[in-house]
Amino acid sequence: MTDSHLDEPQTAPDSTLTAARQARIREVVDRRMRGVAVVLDSLYDPGNQAAVYRSVEAFGFLDCHVVNPAFAKKSNPRAVSRGAEKWLNMHIWQQAEEAIASLRASGHAIWVADVRNAVPLSQVRFDRKVALVFGAEHAGLSPAFRAAADGAFTVPTVGFVESLNIAAAATATLAEARIARERALGARTDLTFEEREALYLDYLGR
């Protein structure tokens, strides 16, 4: 397993960064959230993985857990993510049970994306830490995550199409989760001042 955390030793800021770039980094850091984690449970298509990374970063979340990472089947999945993973805390696990133990230890409720016995995403509580789990494109969720889930959610659709592919479902989910988390907290970030300062210095060195 590889992991990254906000409390790792920080490198000295890059003195070549312009004031505008530093201001932009500060702006991004001040909107980051750790209370919503995204879990990719044995995805088959690395292009889908990369697309989800991009959505995680775009909506201001920090932590992405990848379980049983797939071998790349496309020539350049990074072109899909546009390097978004550079700004994320990536947690790589070989077994679902490892990821579940880590999420439990950090106080996350585990909600899995599913269409069976699921409630609309709007019913998920975002005033606490939540891990949103997306299963493999063909096989779906692993038995371990099904057993560990505190609940199942779905993104309601109103057209003839009854479900979304993983990348689209994650994007729709994270857009709503961002709004719900801000509303629940009454704040644009759930990081402490000290965590934001550590992250800012970290980003300056990336």
User: Token pair for residue 199?
Assistant: 């992250």
Encode 4-25 in three state secondary structure.
Answer: CCCCCCCCCCCCCCCHHHHHHH
C-alpha angle 169/132/119, rounded to 5°?
70
Query: If you count DSSP H runs as helices and E runs as strands, how many of each does the chain have, helices first?
Result: 7, 7
pLDDT at 5 over 70: no
Q: According to the model, what pLDDT value does residue 82 have?
A: 62
Rounded mean pLDDT of 9-27? 77
Average the pLDDT over each of 25-29, 48-52, 77-81 and give the range with the smallest value. Answer: 77-81
C-alpha angle 192/195/197, rounded to 5°?
110
Q: According to the model, what pLDDT value does residue 17 have?
A: 84
Q: According to the model, what pLDDT value does residue 80 have?
A: 57
Given pLDDT bands bounded at 50, 70 and 90, which one contains residue 72? very low
Q: According to the model, what pLDDT value does residue 138 have?
A: 79
User: What's the order of all strands across the beta sheet hosting 130-135?
Assistant: 89-93, 63-67, 36-41, 130-135, 109-113, 151-154, 119-120
Alpha carbon distance 26, 149 (integer Å): 35
Alpha carbon distance 129, 24 (integer Å): 27
Q: In this structure, are residues 48 and 137 in contact, taking their beta carbons and an 8 Å threshold? A: yes
Q: According to the model, what pLDDT value does residue 64 have?
A: 97
Q: According to the model, what pLDDT value does residue 7 have?
A: 46
Q: According to the model, what pLDDT value does residue 163 have?
A: 80
Given pLDDT bands bounded at 50, 70 and 90, which one contains residue 1? low
pLDDT in tens, 84-117: 899 999 999 999 999 999 999 999 999 999 988 8
Given pLDDT bands bounded at 50, 70 and 90, which one contains residue 54? very high
Which one has a higher pLDDT value, 202 or 80?
202
CATH superfamily membership of 19-199: SPOUT methyltransferase, trefoil knot domain (3.40.1280.10)
Q: According to the model, what pLDDT value does residue 9 have?
A: 45
Q: Which residue has the tokens 């991009």?
A: 54
pLDDT averaged over the chain? 89
Domain ranges of the chain: 19-199
Alpha carbon distance 3, 10 (integer Å): 15
Q: In this structure, are residues 190 and 33 in contact, taking their beta carbons and an 8 Å threshold? A: yes
pLDDT at 45 over 80: yes
Phi-psi region of 145 (alpha: psi -120 to 50; beta: other; left: phi over 0): alpha
